[in-house]
Every structure is written in C-alpha cells, then in structure tokens.
Amino acid sequence: MRGALADGGAIAGERLVTWRRPVHTHSTGRTCSEPGCDTVLSIYNATDRCSVHRTFVTIVPRNPGSASADNT
Ligand SMILES: [Zn+2]
C-alpha cells in the first residue's frame, strides 16, 4: 500500500477518453446495389448490399466427403 493506488487513478482517467471511440456510420438513404433491389441499407452496414444479397459472399464450402445424401 504505497503509491500503487495513484497509478490506478491514472488508468481510470484514460478510460474517459477510450469510451468515446468513433462509430463508423455511413450515409443514410442508401439502397442495395443489387439491380432491382430497393432494400434500404442501415447506416451501420459497411457493405453496399442488403443482408439478402450479401449472403452469397459467404459461400459455405462444399464438403467432398458428404457427397452422398443417403446417410441413414
Ligand atoms: Zn438486396
């Protein structure tokens, strides 16, 4: 119990700065870039496509081992 508690106070002061991290938002009123899709994107959506048309990017890799559907 010497001057250790003083250092703790300095750390608490630093938290006052870090709580205010910039929120990455985007312009409002954007719509999905997919032709024919008028879905309005969220300002928090970093992509230019809606959730429906964004899924094809994350294609689940085919599993060569389970080519056979009969697994009973
Ligand atoms: Zn879309």
Residue spans per domain, the chain: 24-59
Q: What pLDDT, on the 0 to 100 scale, is given for residue 36?
A: 95
Q: Cα(65) to centroid of ligand 1, in Å?
A: 33
The answer to whether the beta carbons of residues 7 and 22 sit under 8 Å apart is no
Q: Cα(54) to centroid of ligand 1, in Å?
A: 7
The Cα 61–Cα 48 span in angstroms is 24
Q: What pLDDT, on the 0 to 100 scale, is given for residue 46?
A: 86
**For 4-54, what is each residue's pLDDT tens digit?**
555 555 555 556 555 566 767 777 788 999 999 999 998 888 888 998 888
Give this prediction's pTM.
Answer: 0.42
Q: Cα(22) to centroid of ligand 1, in Å?
A: 27
Q: What pLDDT, on the 0 to 100 scale, is given for residue 39?
A: 93
Q: Is 22 helix (H, G, I), strand (E, B) or coil?
A: coil
